[in-house]
A = this chain, B = another copy of it.
């Protein structure tokens, strides 16, 4: 599904800026911050403002077309891939990897059947291959 279809499907009016942000999110699985999206798009949209990136990503998140990631203590990160998967973050270099996980249907918490679960987020933290080597040289 391309950017235009996705926005239309969610009743989001497809402005130039919104299409550009959506397109960027769909083609970059880097879990970018607001700044990263802004810096990537600003050259091609000279009048672009960071406020618009905030507006747009917040709107997208409310509509469920991107996901907010709380994995990074400093900045908000967003993921354009809303299919079921989890994330690994390297404590050393900060790189974030996608980890594929099984689709699981409706989640019911055994001990808390009264809690209605809409989203499940799983974050792994540790060290990536490069940083493991760097920190424990042969």
Chain A residues in the interface with B (C-beta under 8 A) = 68, 70-73, 76, 88, 90-91, 97, 99-100, 107, 109, 111-112, 114-129, 132
B100 touches A115 (CB 8 A): no
Q: List 22 A-B contacts (CB under 8 A).
A: A68-B73, A70-B70, A73-B76, A88-B109, A88-B115, A97-B112, A99-B109, A100-B111, A109-B124, A115-B124, A116-B126, A116-B132, A117-B124, A117-B126, A118-B125, A118-B127, A120-B123, A120-B124, A121-B121, A121-B122, A121-B124, A122-B123
* Assembled-state Cα–Cα distance A73/B119 (Å): 15
Contacts of A121 in B (CB 8 A): 121-125
Residues of B contacting A73 with CB < 8 Å? 68, 70, 76
| Protomer copies | 2
CB distance from A81 to the nearest CB of B (A): 16
| B128-A115 in contact (CB<8A) | yes
Give the complex CA separation of A129 and B126 in angstroms. Answer: 35
Q: Which residues of B contact A97 (CB under 8 A)?
A: 112, 115
Q: Is the CB of A118 within 8 A of B99?
A: no
Contact B118 A126 (CB under 8 A): yes
Residue of B with least CB distance to A91: B118
A118-B91, A122-B121 are known contacts. Are A112 and B127 too (CB-CB below 8 A)?
A: no
